[in-house]
Chain A
Amino acid sequence: MNSAGSVSPTPPGPAMQRPVTRSRTSLWASILGVAIGLVFFLFPIYWMLVTSVKPPSEWLTNPPVFIPDRLYLQNYTDALFNWGGLKGLEDSGIVAVSATAIGMVLGTLAAYALARFRVGGTNLSFFILSLLFMPPVAIGIPMFLFWSALGLVDTYIALVVQYLTFTLPFVVWVMKGFFEDLPVDREESALVNGASRLRAFWDVVLPNARPALVATGLLAFIFNWNEFSIAVLLSRGRVTTLPFILPTMMESHYVLWGDIAAMAAVGALPVVIIAFLLQRYLVRGLSFGAIRSE
């Protein structure tokens, strides 16, 4: 019935409950392990949030202040208005949304064609996937020369198009796998009933692909929002995404930990919030790419 459900791991339900015969010690060990993991992996995040609301007098104290007694929100207004955080949010948003949207539309179409029609045989698929393996630094110099020849260094266009070099292969990789696992019956009956191919794709395939599309789009957005090395190579100060702004804040002689933490939080919060809102899709999206058999 629901083909998307059978592709992805089912959400934990009764079938996942381990029988009682499994020893209790291993259950407690699991709880302890997860608890230790959470403390270790979340402490730096907590430290960021705490530092972002500390007044300057508490930034460099010894012992460090772990629980501030009041919220000092001026770090956030400093980060947003004095350090260009607002512009950073805007630029990160424009670049990440554009690259994700274009990558999803073009990548999904290509993935469908590759999965159903095997255009270009295995060579084209392999070429597209192999780009996932390429270290960005490997093409850093020619990439820079290419965009400066076009006079487009430090523009939205350069970043968006350049981000497509990893967004497109990622979308194609995940969505191609999904389409290959999707039964063709319903598309065929739509075609028999006189629908065009585009109509069959739009009306029959896409609605079934919704969970995979959300999951893939979410991950693509996260990658694009976070991208750092290409931004460093292609930005000169006009287009300033949030990951690009952070290192520029170190250049003053006095390290403004509170402002930096606030900027970091501004950069991290959007993806964390989206991840929690769409947590079902996030976990599933990782498995679409990794679990299926090719």
Chain B
Amino acid sequence: MLTARQRRRSRWSGGRRFALLAVLPTTIILVALSIFPLLYSLGISFTDKQLLSLVPARFIGLGNYAELFQDSLFWSSLAVTAAFAASVLTVQLGVGLALALALHRLPRYQQFLATLLLIPSIISSSVASFQWRSLFDYSSGPLNFFLGALHLPLLTWTADPRLALPSLLLVDFWQWTPFVTLLLLAGLHALPAPVFEAARVDGSTGWQLLRYQTLPLLRRVIAITVILRLIGAFKVFDIIYVLTAGGPGSATESLAFYNYVQGFRYFSIGYSAAMSYVSVILVIVLARVILRYMERPVGRAAAPAPTAEAAA
């Protein structure tokens, strides 16, 4: 006589043919479209290959990588990318959390308000960038009009070497903070209500509740939000392409954009491939660090993940 568990196991192990067929198309497509390019990139990253060049590529070992670390434009592009990442970790997360907590307090029109707020994140960044181009316009743009109305000096925004990067950070903030807000709001909804009740009986203040109860329980959602947005920060390309093309000079060349410039403008595809590898490694390392930090047990406040009940 088989136990229920054994019967269950045998039934599920019987479907392997179905399972293999089901997973095969996705696997083939993804392997073909990622492993091939990644291996190819790895190969050419050890050569001085130039696109459209008649001179055959030479094997130069780690030459591209060595050159990369001496390339001041690479370091400045890394700094630009770091600025986007820093903006994610500070203002986007901070304002996103504040807005999520505020929306959480307003249950009545919450879904409608949240959807309205989400519009910047669901439209194409190409569309968003063009709107900001017109908002930034020196003589006829609304931003300078408001500055003028407040008797403040007018700004040249993306044309000013010092202001160009902050202007792009503003656009990135505008586009992605609503997305951060929505993820955190969904996380707040998944919190067990008793947490709030018990703390209130204890006489905790709102700040204590946030600091010692809400934030630790939100840790996982915050981690996923941060990772998704950091990946976004490493990919940032569209708004630079439309708003500054990396300029003035190279003031707003991010890692991804500088990579594009080397590969598609100068056709130094060996060099560009080496840069790709460095950025992929950076993203993976960062994601691991954040996941580890965010998933440490949170002591007394640790509650079973609210969504696990359905699986149990």
Interface centre among B8, B234, B310 (most CB of A within 10 A): B310
- Whether B279 pairs with A135 at a CB distance below 8 angstroms is yes
**Chain A min CB distance to B8 (Å):** 7
Residues of A within 8 A of B22 (CB): 109-110, 112-113, 119
- Whether A286 pairs with B183 at a CB distance below 8 angstroms is yes
How big is the A interface, by class? 35 or more
In Å, the complex CA distance between A225 and B27 comes to: 24
In Å, the complex CA distance between A180 and B101 comes to: 29
Chain A residue at minimum C-beta to C-beta distance from B33: A165
- Whether A44 pairs with B120 at a CB distance below 8 angstroms is yes
Total count of chain B residues near the partner, CB < 8 A: 114
Binds A, one of B54-62, B66-74, B130-138, B156-164: B130-138
List 12 extra interface pairs beyond A134-B280, A138-B279, CB under 8 A.
A6-B307, A12-B108, A38-B116, A61-B140, A106-B25, A133-B287, A139-B37, A140-B263, A172-B26, A243-B124, A291-B187, A293-B305
- Whether B120 pairs with A142 at a CB distance below 8 angstroms is no
* Per-residue interface assignment for chain B, residues 172 to 195, with 1 indicating a CB less than 8 Å from any chain A CB and 0 otherwise: 001001110111011101100100
11 A-B contact pairs sorted by A residue (CB < 8 Å): A38-B116, A41-B120, A60-B137, A117-B12, A117-B16, A120-B27, A131-B34, A169-B30, A225-B124, A267-B123, A290-B221
CB proximity to A under 8 Å, residues B6-63:
8, 11-13, 15-16, 18-20, 22-23, 25-27, 29-30, 33-34, 36-38, 40-41, 44, 51
Could you tell me which A residues sit within 8 Å of B by CB distance?
3, 6-7, 9-13, 15-19, 21-23, 26-27, 29-31, 33-34, 37-38, 40-45, 47-48, 51, 59-64, 66, 106-107, 109-110, 112-114, 116-117, 119-120, 124, 127-128, 130-143, 145-146, 161-162, 164-165, 168-169, 172, 180-184, 188, 191, 197-198, 222, 225-229, 232-233, 242-244, 246-247, 257, 260-261, 264, 267-268, 271-272, 275-276, 279-280, 282-284, 286-287, 289-293
Residues of B within 8 A of A117 (CB): 12-13, 15-16, 18-19
Could you tell me which B residues sit within 8 Å of A by CB distance?
8, 11-13, 15-16, 18-20, 22-23, 25-27, 29-30, 33-34, 36-38, 40-41, 44, 51, 95, 98-99, 101-103, 105-108, 110-120, 122-128, 130-132, 134-135, 137, 139-142, 145, 174, 177-179, 181-183, 185-187, 189-190, 193, 196, 200, 206, 220-221, 224-225, 228, 231, 234-235, 237-238, 241-242, 256, 259-260, 263-264, 269, 272-273, 276-277, 279-280, 283-284, 287, 305-311
Chain B residue at minimum C-beta to C-beta distance from A282: B115
Residues of A within 8 A of B34 (CB): 131, 134, 139, 165
Chain A residue at minimum C-beta to C-beta distance from B96: A37
Picked from B13, B122, B305, the residue with its CB within 8 Å of the CB of A272 is B122
A-B contact count (CB 8 A): 343
Residues of B within 8 A of A21 (CB): 200
**Chain A min CB distance to B183 (Å):** 5
Interface centre among B22, B51, B108 (most CB of A within 10 A): B22
**Chain A min CB distance to B192 (Å):** 11
In Å, the complex CA distance between A66 and B134 comes to: 13
Interface centre among A139, A146, A227 (most CB of B within 10 A): A139
Picked from A16, A29, A143, A181, the residue with its CB within 8 Å of the CB of B102 is A29
Residues of A within 8 A of B20 (CB): 113, 119
Known: A229-B238, A247-B242. A142 touches B187 (CB 8 A): no
**Chain A min CB distance to B216 (Å):** 15
- Whether B310 pairs with A222 at a CB distance below 8 angstroms is no
Picked from A124, A162, A244, the residue with its CB within 8 Å of the CB of B33 is A162
